[in-house]
Amino acid sequence: MENKRRLFLKGACATAVGAVASTKFVAAQPETETIEADVNYALIHDETKCIGCEVCVDACRETNNVPEGVSRLEIVKTGPFGEYPEQYFRFSRKSCQHCDATPCVNVCPTGAAYKDPKTGIVSVDSWKCVGCMYCIAACPYQIRFINPVTKAADKCDFCKETRLKEGKQPACVTACPTKALVFGNLKDPDSEIVKVLKATPNYRSKTELGTRPKLFRIAAKEGEIVL
């Protein structure tokens, strides 16, 4: 009995050490992802220019073949604010923020949700996706959805597979009649996006969660002040 108990303890200790060592190994893994790329795409939504026409939404649907009932992009309207003749609304963009630190990628069990190291674009490999919906729950911006046709998770990919491949700007950016959207490379100091970001005060959504979103917003001048 004595001997058996000692063996039991020994076995337990050995496996405990093994378990601790393997979690260390797991924890050490993500370090490898720090290859410095010279492209890191981002987007600005200038709420002072946005008129809520939703032309961007339609352009996205058409270009990326997004089925009815789901959308990669929404314009969320709040308001009206102010008294009758002076009434105004506020429009804010709801789409993937292409987070630099990506909760959706971290949780995906198969690696179907991934961040392209060359462009910083977050996308989904619909073949690898099993549809566990873990990424959908993990995205604090709640912009992921299951594509009813492919049954895989889907979302904005900055038109990586469509317009960007042809060397063009994303569909929503080109379609916007008021030029409220600016797309470009944050690593290029001469790009329009960097110039606008340096010249104009901007904000991002839910930065306190540490996701480092790359959808920059220029606040509508007359917005609601929320406490």
- Burial class (CB within 10 angstroms; exposed 0-12, middle 13-18, buried 19+) of 114: middle
140 makes contact with another protein (CB under 8 A): yes
Cβ 70 to ligand SF4, closest distance in Å?
A: 12
107 makes contact with another protein (CB under 8 A): yes
The DSSP H or E segment spanning 146 is: strand 145-146
Count of H-run helices and E-run strands, the chain: 6, 9
Give the single-character DSSP code of 124: E
DSSP assignment of 160-189: TTTTGGGT---HHHHH-TT--EEEEETT-T
1 vs 199 by CB, closer to another protein: 1
What is the contact mask toward ligand SF4 in residues 49 to 78, using x (rule: CB under 6 A)?
A: ----------xx--xx-------xx-----
> How many binding residues for ligand SF4 (CB under 6 A)?
44
Figure out which of the listed residues 44, 211, 216, 217 binds ligand SF4, where binding follows CB under 6 A: 211
Distance CA 46, CA 178 (A): 10
Which parts of this chain interact with another protein (CB under 8 A)? Answer: 4, 7-16, 19, 25-26, 29-30, 103, 105-112, 128-134, 136-140, 142, 146, 151-152, 206, 209-211
